[in-house]
Chain A
Amino acid sequence: MADRLRSRTTATLAGDLVAPHMRLALFLLLAPALLWLLGLIVLPHVDLAVLSLRTRVAPRTYELGFGNYRTFIDEPLYWHTFVRTAVMSIFATVCTLLIAFPAAWYIAKIARGRAKSLLFVMCLIPFWVSETVRTLGWMILLRESGVLPRLLVELGITAKPVELLYHDTTILVGLVYTSMLFMVVPLVSALESLDDSLIEAAYDLGGNGLSILRQIVIPHAAPGIAAGSIIVFMLTLGNYLTPTLLGGKNSLWFTEQIYTQFITRFNWEQGAAFGFLLLFLSTASVWLGLVVTGQKFGDVMRRS
């Protein structure tokens, strides 16, 4: 009892004496991060929220209301683009997962020593070049007069060069390529923590590859899979460059609608509303994904 009393007194004393300095130091240390959060994330969003609720009724006269959101619902092009972006993003995420999983498995469980780090670096290498250059690289490969169509003609597969750009598939290829690393990293860390003896035990007890994958590997890697999928989905949904360059004017990506409203149409109010709709879409999708797979957001973020 006396001990506890004494320790409490010391703690209070220490708190009284040290706390003001400590609190100031802590505040100063956190200041850049807090300023960044406040200045670049909170304030613009508050401003955008206010903006999105203003409707232009006449030049320079605005009215508070949900008019911008109603335009979104009334105009099929807008919500078609919205749904299309969501569906394509989900599809791109699934494709990335399917391609990244075997790669991550190989890096985490099969490759050893130098081969392992080499493979990791190979996933990273594309990021040494800016996204614009990477996407332009794809354009050089895929355009009608590009490398791949000419190769197809040379090999006699097609009679004349075909245009490989400006298809939905092209957009998907570009998105998957851009997102690969963000899926591989959380998957590798999730798979590395899986004890090999669990796989051996399951095999020993009569399991085969498929049942082990379904019952041991995937349940164990689930937080990693969820983390990778969330990151990839958000990156894809908010990607502007890849759909625009690889998809051309047919791409119909929602970020392009936002760009158009802000820059081309100079309708900031409408653009702000679209921006909030996109934020809502990504939040809702992630939440739904977590609920459906029974994951907890905290677990998932700790894994990533």
Chain B
Amino acid sequence: MDQDLEVDRVSKRYNAHLAVNALSFAVPHGSFFSILGPSGCGKTTLLRLIAGFLEPDSGDVRIGGHSMRGVSPNRRPVNMVFQNLALFPMMSVGENVGYGLARRDIASTEIRNRVAAMLKRVGLPGAEGKRVDQLSGGQKQRVAIARSLVLEPTLLLLDEPLGALDLKLREHMKIELKQLQADFGTTFVYITHDQSEALVLSDRVAVMSAGRFEQIGTPQELYYAPHTAFVAGFVGANNRLSGTVQRVDGDIIELHTAQGLALHARCTEHVVAGNEVEAFVRPEVVGLARDAAGLATGTPYYTGRIESLLFDGANSTVLVREQPTNTEFRIALPQTGQFADLRESEMIVFGFDPERAISFRGGNDGR
């Protein structure tokens, strides 16, 4: 498949701080690629390297197969949607969308037609004459994307464009962005610190930390088969339990936490008894029951006291303190409404399949 973007061992250093550390990856044509990481992980630097606002210290960025070394941002076949959108307040919507075309010396009637067609495609037909401050947050978003897409770039970069929107609109714009991308077929590179945006929107996601990619994969791979403790901890909610390996049995290990809780988990790395490990158990992996008979047979189970109920519709969870070690577990409530009558400080039992709990060598964060 054609690679629209190839990043080849790119590094960027700010004084002593290595913001981007010998990164390599490729984004195939027409796909939606996200870079997910906490703030300060270097994702904005990476995006600016691709857009051309920064030059890499070493390595090369190739867009559509051409090296971008020494090519200024206004000559790259790349456009960017800025975090604050950066619409030009001194221009009308039509002038904003037509700005890039006008810079290419295209006849004004042609520009007018293309702007009108583009505004229609993003669902704002006839908005040319409006002022930017007359638009709602979602409409501004669409104008910003239209302004870039009208230039038919090989690559569209998006720098957390949903960050400034309120929750409801953000949910709505997520769906709209995905539909726009599918519609236009343009390759999108999207950076965000919001894992839900990355998981919902992307074909592939790269999880970034301290200038490097921890893992690149489909959202499903990242969620169900994280390669490192960082990814397991960053993508989705997880119960994180650190302890010492007691026994190794194939790829299932038994570990004991400092509080004395014994549990089983899968470990794909090579560990021996005595190693420090971190186990991750997703809230929805843990089964909940009023008594031991209600749980799947054969899996170990624990008893706990409900500390608090966190009702959030389909995402409701309970915080449970395992007895007697007092270890905290966050457990998802099944959506059947079976446990709708749970009360705080009630005693329950819970257990999980060790195959679905994953562990990594601790201490070095799995790297």
A residues contacting B by CB (< 8 A) are 195, 197-198, 200-208, 211, 215-216, 219-220
Q: B186-221 CB contact bits vs A (8 Å, 1 = yes)?
A: 000000000000000000000000000000000000
Closest chain B residue, CB of each to CB of A218: B90
From known contacts A198-B88, A219-B90, infer whether A206 and B103 are also in contact, taking CB-CB under 8 Å: yes
Bound complex: CA of A222 vs CA of B35, how far in Å?
39
Give the distance in Å from the alpha carbon of A208 to the alpha carbon of B103 in the complex: 8
Partner of B103, one of A197, A200, A211, A220: A211
Residue pair A208, B74 in contact (C-beta under 8 Å): yes
Given contacts A203-B74, A207-B103, contact A198 B86 (CB under 8 A): yes
Chain A residues, Cβ within 8 Å of B11? none
Decide if B348 is an interface residue (CB 8 Å cutoff): no
Could you say which of B51, B74, B90, B91 contacts A207, with CB atoms under 8 Å apart?
B74
Contact check: which of B52, B72, B84 meets A197 at CB < 8 Å?
A: B84
Contacts of A204 in B (CB 8 A): 51-53, 73-74, 78-80
- Given known pairs A206-B151, A216-B88, the reply for A201 and B103 (CB within 8 Å) is no
**What separation, in Å, do the CA atoms of A206 and B72 have in the docked complex?**
10
Which positions 94-146 of chain B face chain A at CB distance < 8 Å? 99-100, 103-104
A189 to B75, CA, bound (A): 31
* CB-nearest residue of chain B to A209: B74
- Which residues on A sit within 8 Å (CB–CB) of B84? 195, 197
Give 20 CB contacts A-B under 8 Å.
A195-B84, A195-B86, A197-B82, A197-B86, A201-B82, A201-B86, A201-B88, A204-B52, A204-B79, A205-B74, A205-B79, A205-B100, A205-B147, A206-B74, A206-B100, A206-B103, A207-B103, A215-B88, A215-B90, A215-B91
Give the residues in chain B near A203, CB-CB below 8 Å. Answer: 72-74
A183 to chain B, nearest CB (A): 21
Which residues in A have their C-beta under 8 angstroms from that of B31? none
Contact A197 B83, beta carbon cutoff 8 Å? yes
Whether A205 contacts B83 in the complex (CB less than 8 A), given A198-B88, A200-B53, A216-B90, comes out as: no
- Contacting A at CB under 8 A, from B36-75, are 51-53, 72-75
Query: Residues of B contacting A197 with CB < 8 Å?
Result: 82-84, 86
Per CB-CB distance, the 9 closest pairs between chain A and chain B, nearest first, are A205-B100, A201-B86, A206-B103, A219-B90, A197-B86, A197-B82, A206-B74, A206-B100, A204-B80
Cα–Cα distance between A220 and B151 once the two chains are bound (Å): 25
Output the nearest chain B residue to A201 by Cβ-Cβ distance.
B86
- Tell me whether B148 is interfacial, beta carbon within 8 Å: yes
Within 8 A of A (CB), among B259-287: none
Contacts A197-B82, A206-B100 aside, 9 further interface pairs with beta carbons under 8 A come to A195-B84, A198-B86, A200-B80, A201-B80, A203-B74, A205-B79, A206-B104, A208-B103, A219-B90
